[in-house]
């Protein structure tokens, strides 16, 4: 059993949680501003796809990241137009984003590459080892396997927390989510804040998708995000819309994923499919037991209109 719990389990936990953390941050910002976003999954898929397309066309994986950002701006922008500007039902609008994200990316693969399902390899982001860190005692072996990209993703957790909870911009955003009318009366441009938050959630989710397609792997596959957008949503709810707890839940999902991967190597008795369902089962249990007590932003889901 001791080989089971190894350093690499820890490292893979971190790796596997990044593509849940990024969309979780996006969803959290979006919902704290008062817009329900269950479209994270679709946004991730388009992000993963955009990254592969740009990396393929330019041969430069960093421009691939740019492609993910662009697709995030588009999917976030679409949701912002539907749910904030046109005041459509937010659940339906973001479901549309999921459907478009899944359908369009699957349809475009054969159009661009001429083959169904999985794209050929494209240039991926190189693993940039961190300077100094691996040499440090204790945390060196623990964190040494992390790349720059991972560290940036974890830094984003802190940045989002700081901006949301400690700055004026965050206070405005939270005010819009708690009571759009009160925020409006206080001179906050509710519509503008919400549009910005929705678009940002698109970008963060898209980066999460890109992490899967051009950091972990080097290709795009139809529905390759495997429900991580929904896991992110579950983490957000389970973490009660707070950055720290939601982040820990994401790590928990990453750990479950990592355990499933390991168990696959170490045992043949357990069916693999069941193991890979572990994070999802965890999410299900978490939501079923805690969602009743969850308290989201008071005004989430309600379109705001000025007279």
Question: Residue 1 or 185: which CB sits closer to another protein?
Answer: 185
How far apart CA 173 and CA 163 sit, in angstroms, is: 10
| Total of residues contacting another protein (CB under 8 A) | 25
How would you class 294 by CB atoms within 10 Å of its CB: exposed for 0-12, middle for 13-18, buried for 19 or more? middle
Q: C-beta of 175: minimal distance to another protein in Å?
A: 5
HSE-CB of 266 using CA atoms within 13 angstroms: 14
Question: Residue 272 or 305: which CB sits closer to another protein?
Answer: 305
Q: C-beta of 191: minimal distance to another protein in Å?
A: 10
**Which of 124, 174, 228, 262 is the binder for another protein (CB under 8 A)?**
174
Burial 35-64 (b: 16+ CB within 10 A, else e): bbbbbbbbbbbbbbbbbbbbbbeeeebeeb
How far apart CA 286 and CA 233 sit, in angstroms, is: 12
Q: Does 91 bind another protein (CB under 8 A)?
A: no
Question: Residue 15 or 172: which CB sits closer to another protein?
Answer: 172
The C-alpha torsion from 188 through 166 and 157 to 84, rounded to 10°, is: -10
Question: Residue 89 or 178: which CB sits closer to another protein?
Answer: 178
Contact track, another protein, 178-217, x by CB under 8 A = xx-xxxxxxxxx----------------------------
Instruction: Check: CB of residue 220 under 8 Å from CB of residue 61.
Output: no
Contact track, another protein, 123-162, x by CB under 8 A = ---------------------------------------x
Question: Residue 89 or 184: which CB sits closer to another protein?
Answer: 184
Residue 275: count other Cβ atoms within 10 Å of its Cβ: 18
How far apart CA 167 and CA 209 sit, in angstroms, is: 28
Which residues of the chain form contacts with another protein (CB under 8 A)?
A: 162-163, 166-169, 171-172, 174-175, 178-179, 181-189, 297-298, 306-307
């Amino acid at each position: 059993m001791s080989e089971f719990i190894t350093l690499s389990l820890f490292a893979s936990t971190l790796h596997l949680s990044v593509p849940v953390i990024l969309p979780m941050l996006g969803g959290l910002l979006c919902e704290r501003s008062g817009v329900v976003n269950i479209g994270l999954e679709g946004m991730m898929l388009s992000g993963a796809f955009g990254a592969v397309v740009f990396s393929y066309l330019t041969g430069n994986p960093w421009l691939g990241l740019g492609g993910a950002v662009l697709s995030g701006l588009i999917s976030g922008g679409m949701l912002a137009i539907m749910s904030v500007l046109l005041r459509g039902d937010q659940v339906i609008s973001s479901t549309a984003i999921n459907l478009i994200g899944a359908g369009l990316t699957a349809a475009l693969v054969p159009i661009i590459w001429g083959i169904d399902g999985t794209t050929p390899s494209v240039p991926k982001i190189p693993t940039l080892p961190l300077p100094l860190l691996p040499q440090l005692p204790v945390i060196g072996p623990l964190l040494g396997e992390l790349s720059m990209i991972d560290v940036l993703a974890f830094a984003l957790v802190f940045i989002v927390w700081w901006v949301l909870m400690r700055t004026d911009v965050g206070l405005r955003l939270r005010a819009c989510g708690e009571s759009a009318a009160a925020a409006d009366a206080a001179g906050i441009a509710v519509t503008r804040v919400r549009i910005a938050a929705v678009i940002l959630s698109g970008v963060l989710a898209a980066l999460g998708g890109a992490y899967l397609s051009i950091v972990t792997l080097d290709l795009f596959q139809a529905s390759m995000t495997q429900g991580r957008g929904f896991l992110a949503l579950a983490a957000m709810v389970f973490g009660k819309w707070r950055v720290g707890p939601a982040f820990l839940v994401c790590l928990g999902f990453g750990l479950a994923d990592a355990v499933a991967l390991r168990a696959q190597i170490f045992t043949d008795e357990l069916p693999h499919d069941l193991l890979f369902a572990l994070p999802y089962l965890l999410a299900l249990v978490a939501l079923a037991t805690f969602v009743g007590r969850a308290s989201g932003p008071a005004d989430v889901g309600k379109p705001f209109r000025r007279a």
